[in-house]
Structure formats: C-alpha cells, structure tokens
Amino acid sequence: MSTKDLVRMANQIAVNQAHLPDDQAADIVASHLTMFWAPSMRNELVTAVDAGEADLNEVALRAVRQLQPA
Amino acid sequence: MTLLHEPTGQVAPDLGTPAMPGEPTVEVEIDGVAVAVPEGTSIMRAAAEAGIDVPKLCATDSLKSFGSCRVCLVEIEGRPGAPASCTTPVAPGMKVATTSPKVDKLRQGVVELYLSDHPADSCTAGACELHAMAETVGLSDVRYGQEGHNHLNIEVDASNPYFTFDPKACIVCSRCVRACDEIQGTLALTVEGRGFESLISASGTSFMESECVSCGACVQACPTTALQEKSIIELGMPTRTVKTTCAYCGVGCSFDAEMRGDELVRMTPSKEGGANEGHSCVKGRFAWGYATHRERITVPMVRESITDEWREVSWDEAISFTARRFTELQQQYGPDSIGGITSSRCTNEEVFVVQKMVRAAFGNNNVDTCARVCHSPTGYGLKQTFGTSAGTQDFKSVEDADVILLIGANPTDAHPVFGSRMKQRLRAGAELIVIDPRRIDLVRTPHIEASHHLQLLPGTNVAIVNALAHVVVTEGLVDREFVAARCEDDSFAEWEAFIARPENSPEAMEAATGVPASEIRAAARLYASVPNAAIYYGLGVTEHSQGSTMVMGMANLAMATGNIGRDGVGVNPLRGQNNVQGSCDMGSFPHEFSGYRHVSDDTVRVLFEDVWGREMRADPGLRIPNMFDAAVAGSFRGLFVQGEDVAQSDPNIGHVTAALTALDLLVVQDLFINETAKFAHVFLPGTSFLEKDGTFTNAERRINRVRPVMDPKTGKDEWQVACDISTAMGYPMGYDDASQIMDEIAQVTPTFAGVSFAHLDEAGSLQWPCNDAAPEGTPIMHVDGFVRGKGNFVQTPYVPTDEKANRKFPLLLTTGRILSQYNVGAQTRRTSNVEWHPEDLLEIHEADAAERGIGDGDWVALNSRVGETHMRARITDRVPQGVVYTTFHHPESGANVVTTENSDWATNCPEYKVTAVQIRPANAVDPLRVSADA
C-alpha cells in the first residue's frame, strides 16, 4: 500500500483525538490501529517509521511506536 | 384497483374502516351476532369483525370513513332512517340489521344509478368492485339508458408508464384523493367541479405532469378500473400471491407478489407488513421489470484477460476456474492476497455464506461490505455510545414524536414510505428541524413547514451537533435524572465539561457552519424541551471525514436529553439499501463476526472454530478502500464481488478502476454486466429478489422473509455458488436450503438466537435482538438499560475536513438520491422510471451559474482535484450559493469520477458529501470523462 495514504489516515485518527492529553490520545490511536487495521497495514507503517519515511504527527508517531509486530 | 377475488395466499380482508385503538369494551349485536369492539369503531368494521360484510364502495380500511357512496346503509333498532355504517360509530347495546327490504332497495337504487354512467365492458374480469357490488345487492337490470348526459366520452390518461386513469370508469368516490392525502401525503389529486360535473383530477394536468409521485396508493384504493395497472390490463388478473419483501431501500416494505401462472403481474403492498402497513413507493410498487430485462445475464462466463471476449461456460467450469485461480494466487502471493465484498442487496443467508467462504475457505478476514461506503460510521458510533450497531426504534415510533430532528436525510426521496409516515406525524402536529445544506422537500411541502432549517455548509455537521449540545448543557436542558440513572458518570462529566467550552457555542461555530447562532439556539431549545424528540439521519451524516464523530455526537445529544428507550424518541439511521442492516449483522466487516463481535475475542473465535471446523484469524482484514490501495500496490491480487458495482458507486473512480485493472482475478456476481464487471475475469449470474429464498433486515432491525415467486433463472441459488466455490477450494460448505443457513446464523449469533424461517413465517417478521430474553423480538432498544450497560458519552471535537473550497475549486459538491432512481441505477435504469430521471443533473444556484455564464439545461464540465465529468445544469434555489448537488444514478455522468479518497477517520467511509469543485460551460458529454491519474 502507499505509505503516503497510511500516514494520512493515521494522522487523521490522531487529529480526531487532539482534545485529549497526548499519552491518552496515543493509546487510543494505537488501540484503533490494532482493532481496525489489517496487520499488513500496521507493519508497513511501522516499517516506514523505522525507515524515517513517515511524516506522522506527534500523537500518531507515539501510537505507531506502541504497536506490537503483527 | 383492489383485488376482489382473492387468489391463493393470505391477502388481508378489507374491514371497511380503520381499527380504533383501545380495548373491545363496546358490545353490540349485528344481524343477531354479538361482537365487542373498541369505542369509536364504525358499525361497518364491527360487522366485518363479526364476519358480516356490509356492501360498500367508498370505504376501505386504509382510509378514514367518508360516507359518500350510500351503499353501506343499515338499520339500527330504535333509530330512524338508514345511516351509513362506515360513518356511524357503535354504541353500547346497539342492535343493527345490515340487510332488510328497506336497505336492500336503497342499495339497489344507488348501485343502479352508478351503473347508469359506467361502461359495462371496461373492466378487466374480476377487477371492478362496482360490478361485483351489483351482484351482491341483487341488481339484475339497469333501467336507465346511457343516452343521457354522462361521462362516457372522456379520454383515458395513459401518461403514467405504470397505470392508466380512465374517467369513464370513475365513480368519484374520492378513495384515490383520500389515499393521496391520508397515506402518501402528496395531495396531488383533487375533485374538480361540483355535482354531476365532479371529476377526479391530477390538479388540472396529466398524471405524468402532475405532482403525483406514482406511489400507487390511489391505484390500490380505486374500487373500479378507473385507476388500473397497465400490467393488469396487458396480462390479466392474478391467480395467486406470494408474500415477500421489496429489494430497494432500507424501509423493507412487505409486498404481495401477485402471479398469473409463473408470471408476476403486480406487486401490492401488504397491510400487515410491519414496516409499510400497506403503503409503497414507485420503485417497490412498479419498478420490478428489471428482473426479467433483456440485458439480464443468466449463464456463467469466464475470460483469461479483461481484453478478451466473454466465453459462456457451465456452472462446473466457472466454479472450478474461480477456485483454481484463487488458490493459485494464494500459493503465489500468500493467503492474504485475496478477499471478498458482500452486498446489501443480497439476503442475510447469501451474505453469511460469502463472509464464511472468506473466513473459512480463503483463510483470512479480507471481507467487507458495501456498508463501508454508507453506514459504517453508524456501526462504529452507536457501538461506542450505546453498545451495538442498530437504530433504536421501530418506524411506528415516529407517531409518538413531538419533535423530529432530521439530519442529512431526504426520506421523501430516498425512504419514501417512511417519509410518508413522517409527513402524517408532522401534519398531526409534531415539529420538524432539518439540518441539511440543501432544501429538501420536507422543509416546505403541503401542510408541512419545518420550524427550523439549519442550512449548514457541507462538512460542518459536528460543529452543528456540538453547538446544539452546548446549548442543552449551558442552558440547563440536560435530563439529569436520565443521565444519572442510565449513563456513565465519568464519561458524562468529561463530556459536559468539553461541550460547555466556548469554542463549541453556536456563536463560535457560526462562521464555520454558516448558520446563525440564534437559529441553532432555538432549535436546541425546541429539541430539548418536548416530551419526545427523535433523531433520524442518513448518509448526509455518515459520508463525511467525521461521520463517526457525528453519529456519536447525535447519540450524546439524545442521551443528554433523555431521548432514548421509549416510543417517540431515539437515534435512527435510515439505511440506504434493503439489507444494509443485515449485511452488517451477518459479519461482513473485516474486524467482526456476525452480531458485531470482534475477531480478537477469543471466546467468540472459539465458538466459530468449533462450528466451522477451521481456525479463525484474530486480526482484522482489509477494508474495501484498503483492498483497492493494496491492489494498486500489488499485494492484493484477487477479489470476489457479490452484487456490488464498485466501479460506479465508490469514490475516485479513476483509482478504483486502476485497482480493478491491477487484479489478476476479479469475480463478479450480479444480474447485469455492470461497470465493475467490465474489469472481471469471471461473471457469475446472480438471482433477483423474485428468485431468492431468505431474509432481509431493514433499518428498524426487522427481519423479513424473502420468498421466491419463480425458480432461479440461473439454475442455481446464489448462496449455492459461494458454497460451491468454497467446497472447490477445499472447505466443504453445503446446505439443503436457505433455512439451514439461518439456523446456523442463529446458532452462532446471540441476537438472532430465536430466529428461524418457521418463526418468521409464524410471526410475519421479527426485530432483533430475538432470543430467550426477547422471544418475539425487540421493537424498541435500550428500554431499561443500554446494550453496553451504561450509556457512554464520547467527546466529539469538530475537526474541519481537508477538502476545502479554494480559488481553483471554489464550490462544494454534495451528492444524493432521487425518488425514481436507486443507487447506481442498475435496477431502476432498466425500468420505466427513467422517464422521470433520464440523466443526472447538477443543481446550481442562480448566482453561481450566472457568474460562469451557465444557463438552465446547459452542459457543464465538473472538475475536482481527482477528475472531471460532464452533465447538464439545473438552476435552482434548493442549494445555497457556493454549494452544488447531483445524483449518482447514471454511469454516463459518473458523479464519483470527481469524489475523492478522503474518508471518515474511524471507518474509511468515503467523504462523498464534500468535494471541492469548479464548473465551466461545456459542449456535451465527454465519453472519456475520467481525466485523473489513478
């Protein structure tokens, strides 16, 4: 899948939690990605983050770093 | 015209006048037979309930009594004269004679006069109540000739494609006029002239040019052949009926399919249908001809490449080809390289076996459903707040609503039978608040005017619902007792603090929404101040980047004001297609098994593994847009599409077609070679609803039986095809009939535990949950507690969409449906409904049109950042300046060529309702309309 699309979607989820403290928001985003994203999508995003290719906002980045390898 | 001689089947008898509410406390004696009925019941109905038919012409039990024909006269002991039994209520101890020499003579005289101005040979055999009534009252001869002044030379109006109006056969009983008023609520018909000159008129014009919406209520009410279906004129009267369910919108109307031999000649709405109670719309009543359209494909076809010609093959070859190719793709690219899409047009049973095929035979969770692109935010939002993905009410509940808050829905076009029910309630005094960028008909229509129309800018729903809730919280309108008893203390406290912030006030939101703060405040006060306020919503809520947030915002509002858990209140999604609710219930989403249970739940997974004998995956699979993205990227290679036209219905068609083109195997199961099938390697012919045996579940969770009126034209039930593919792929799946599939659904789905075909046949319909706790179903949900226990308030910050108008794309496009067409039009475009809507039009405000030099009816080019399409303009004040609107029923205009990849943050439901566009004059339609890069 396109990293750009995955980043866009992850950032959008995070922006919708922006009213919450960052830690709480990141937990919610990580949970959302686990509950609703296919493992292949999560893996690609993690790989992109590890490679420094994902332009994620702060909350989304913290969330992706919480994800367990699927 | 009504059905006089009941064919085989159970057509409900006509009891003459409507039932009265209450207990049967009034005891009367009719022709010596004792009967007890509720107060206010007419003598005619009491007689009918005692098994005595009083002759009648102007009375029918779907309409208020009228008393014009004077055929139903009776004698009452101790009273003078012969009153009309339809308009005379019973009284305690009353003794009535329905026959006597006096009333017999009176009736004969009345019927004789009618017949003296009525053609003797105009009636289809058995179709005219007047001729039957002559026989009933013992009239053998008409003494008056037809040489005098009469109505026998008036022309027939055959302008409507589905029925004729022959004034010669009309007795001016006003049943049609009253049906248009009391049932449909359109008031298109009237009686023109006085006395002998009285004539039924479609307000002075032809039926086709009038306000008539062709719902068929007048035709059904007509006691003669003055209003008659053309199909009956051409094919004759039916000889038997089969009860079934409409396959159009989410109202799920019950119908009597009336057959003459093996041919369908008429569909009439069933009075005992829980969703429609005898009403219908132009689609369900008349637009069923597509099922036998010449373009229907009934033989399987395959081809190696999408550039090859199709090759007709046997079912065995098609199944083995499909199974082999899917298996090869998994061997080459891995188990997750294939998946399937289920359809909301198919039965619960057909959907269930397809998602089972994916989970058990494909061995992954790559299954999704077309609800992804319509009501998936409803599933997410209502589950977060209430605990399950379902509307809270039955349709009848609206009759107890004092205020109706209608958001992003246009029921008189998209859910017309419920729209009529809503109109009746509004005419009876309920107030209406409409939140919609476009002025829908309900804002102002005969006898109805919305108290408030919050004409917001597309994309600002959450700003509005937050502002409404802000007023409720800051002006002391919260139902504290309800919240304390029924909702979570902590989540309410956090939400209350959030929503009371100044940035959520109507004044703060005014700039974003374009709605005056005073209007929002007044609407909020109205919603919160009445005993019962009900929210109804449609895709104008869900198809946004914050669709799920908006659903939760509405749930918050309903909980905060105590508007949950009884008649007249609730949060009610109006589902688009006939089985959206059911396809979601059946486990079509990639993260959920049937009954909305997550695949990561070990207990649930073990249940399915025990019943199905295969290990289930604990991770969610790909959603539809994810499948397309993965196909373009090359990791997703094979797709099974059941009854869905993604190449027309899904957003950014350029991207969709690129994905479909990239697939190694696309299998399409449908009635017609649709836009998607043009990219397919296998075409598996599907069955129409007239051939299906199964169930649909409507927007009120009502499970209705769909019964076959003819054998499958393909030679195979649709569910059998998925079973055969699954079996050929190494996972044997088989059922003797569809009832066994429902038995399995009940076995693995707690909310369906009490559902079976036998129970449905006995009860008529059942609303889930239907189980030991609610053996006869659940019309109203969350009565004593929410499904999740306590109601959960979720904070709903307004996040503006990324799709903004700018200098290059200064207008906002929003899309919707029209009454006569249905979704991508695959069905309705193959009926005479095209006479009302032959093409999609772009509605544009006069000022925007003038600025661009566009006139009414001109061709225009519609551009967004992803594509361009062409259609004609319609200049209108329905849309405000800066907003344009179109429908998506025709592939030639292809509205979704311009819609974008933006989607709901929680569910990926596309943001169809907001697309920044520019418009310029154009010469004509561009056949190569897709100009975007995929």
Whether the pLDDT of residue B118 is over 90: the answer is: no
Averaged pLDDT, B565-589: 95
B635 and A36 within 8 Å at the Cβ level: the answer is no
Q: Compute how many other C-beta atoms are within 10 angstroms of the C-beta atom of residue B310.
A: 17
State residue B329's pLDDT score. Answer: 98
Q: Considering only CA atoms, give the Rg of chain B.
A: 29
CA distances from B237 to B18, B160, B225, B234 (A): 27, 20, 12, 9
Closest chain A residue to B495, measured at CA: A19
Lowest mean pLDDT among B5-9, B139-143, B407-411, B496-500: B5-9
Residues in chain B: 934
Residue B864, min C-alpha distance to chain A (Å):
19
Q: How many Å apart are CA B568 and CA B539, to the nearest integer?
A: 22
A1 and B799 within 8 Å at the Cβ level: the answer is no
State residue B389's pLDDT score. Answer: 86
Residue B619, min C-alpha distance to chain A (Å):
7
Closest chain A residue to B336, measured at CA: A40
Of B471, B473, B477, B474, the C-alpha closest to B452 is B471
Best probe of the A interface among B626, B795, B908, by most A CBs < 10 A, is B626
CA distances from B158 to B88, B163, B385, B481 (A): 38, 7, 52, 60
Whether the pLDDT of residue B196 is over 90: the answer is: no
As a whole number, the mean pLDDT across chain B is 94
Averaged pLDDT, B634-648: 95
Averaged pLDDT, B223-227: 94
Lowest mean pLDDT among B20-29, B400-409, B822-831, B851-860: B822-831
Whether the pLDDT of residue B670 is over 60: the answer is: yes
A16 and B799 within 8 Å at the Cβ level: the answer is yes
Lowest mean pLDDT among B212-221, B817-826, B852-861: B817-826
Q: Which residue has the higher pLDDT, B127 or B25?
A: B25
B619 lies within 8 A of chain A by CB: yes
B795 lies within 8 A of chain A by CB: yes
Encoded amino acid at B900, one letter: T
In chain A, which residues have their Cβ closer than 8 Å to the Cβ of B366? 38
- Output the CA torsion B685→B690→B691→B697 (10° steps): 90
Closest chain A residue to B795, measured at CA: A19
Of B129, B200, B125, B141, the C-alpha closest to B166 is B200
Contact status, residue B557 vs residue B535, Cβ threshold 8 Å: yes
State residue B450's pLDDT score. Answer: 98
In chain B, which residues have their Cβ closer than 8 Å to the Cβ of A35? 591, 598, 600, 620
In chain B, which residues have their Cβ closer than 8 Å to the Cβ of A13? 905-906
B366 and A38 within 8 Å at the Cβ level: the answer is yes
Residue A70, min C-alpha distance to chain B (Å):
8
Classify residue B610 by burial, with Cβ atoms within 10 Å: 0-12, 13-18, 19+.
exposed
pLDDT digits over A3-58, tens only? 999 999 999 999 999 999 999 999 999 999 999 999 999 999 999 999 999 999 99
A38 lies within 8 A of chain B by CB: yes
Please calculate the CA angle B259-B264-B269 and round it to the nearest 5 degrees: 80
A3 lies within 8 A of chain B by CB: no
Q: List, in order, residues 6 or more apart from B828 with CB less than 8 Å away.
A: B283, B287, B290, B820, B821, B822, B834, B889
Residue A54, min C-alpha distance to chain B (Å):
17
B906 lies within 8 A of chain A by CB: yes
State residue B896's pLDDT score. Answer: 86
B498 and A19 within 8 Å at the Cβ level: the answer is yes
Averaged pLDDT, B811-832: 92
Walk across the sheet containing B571-573 and list its strands: B452-454, B431-435, B403-407, B533-537, B571-573
CB-CB: which of B591, B633, B905 is closest to A13?
B905
Q: Considering only CA atoms, give the Rg of chain A.
A: 11
In chain B, which residues have their Cβ closer than 8 Å to the Cβ of A18? 797, 799
B908 and A5 within 8 Å at the Cβ level: the answer is no
Closest chain A residue to B908, measured at CA: A9
Q: What are phi and psi of B658, to 5 degrees?
A: -65, -40
Side-chain-side CA neighbours of B264 within 13 Å: the count stands at 25
Averaged pLDDT, B407-419: 97
3-state secondary structure B306-318: CCCCCEECCHHHH
Closest chain B residue to A13, measured at CA: B905
ipTM score? 0.96
pLDDT digits over B720-760, tens only? 999 999 999 999 999 999 999 999 999 999 999 999 999 99
Whether the pLDDT of residue B8 is over 60: the answer is: no
CB-CB: which of B545, B620, B901 is closest to A36?
B620
Residue A12, min C-alpha distance to chain B (Å):
6
Whether the pLDDT of residue B178 is over 90: the answer is: yes
Residue A14, min C-alpha distance to chain B (Å):
9
Q: Which residue has the tokens 């702060």?
A: A58
This prediction's pTM: 0.94
State residue B123's pLDDT score. Answer: 58
pLDDT band at B706 (very low <50, low <70, confident <90, very high): very high
Residue B475: strand, helix, or coil: coil
pLDDT digits over B349-377, tens only? 999 999 999 999 999 999 999 988 889 99
Q: List, in order, residues 6 or more apart from B287 with CB less than 8 Å away.
A: B248, B820, B822, B827, B828, B831, B832, B833
A69 lies within 8 A of chain B by CB: no
Contact status, residue B430 vs residue B401, Cβ threshold 8 Å: yes
Residue B372: strand, helix, or coil: helix
Whether the pLDDT of residue B932 is over 50: the answer is: no
B630 lies within 8 A of chain A by CB: yes
Please calculate the CA angle B323-B662-B933 and round it to the nearest 5 degrees: 155
A15 and B629 within 8 Å at the Cβ level: the answer is no
Best probe of the B interface among A31, A40, A67, by most B CBs < 10 A, is A40
Of A69, A49, A47, the C-alpha closest to A58 is A49
Whether the pLDDT of residue B346 is over 50: the answer is: yes
pLDDT band at B146 (very low <50, low <70, confident <90, very high): confident
pLDDT digits over B285-312, tens only? 999 999 999 999 999 999 999 999 999 9
In chain B, which residues have their Cβ closer than 8 Å to the Cβ of A37? 620, 626
DSSP code, position B75 = E
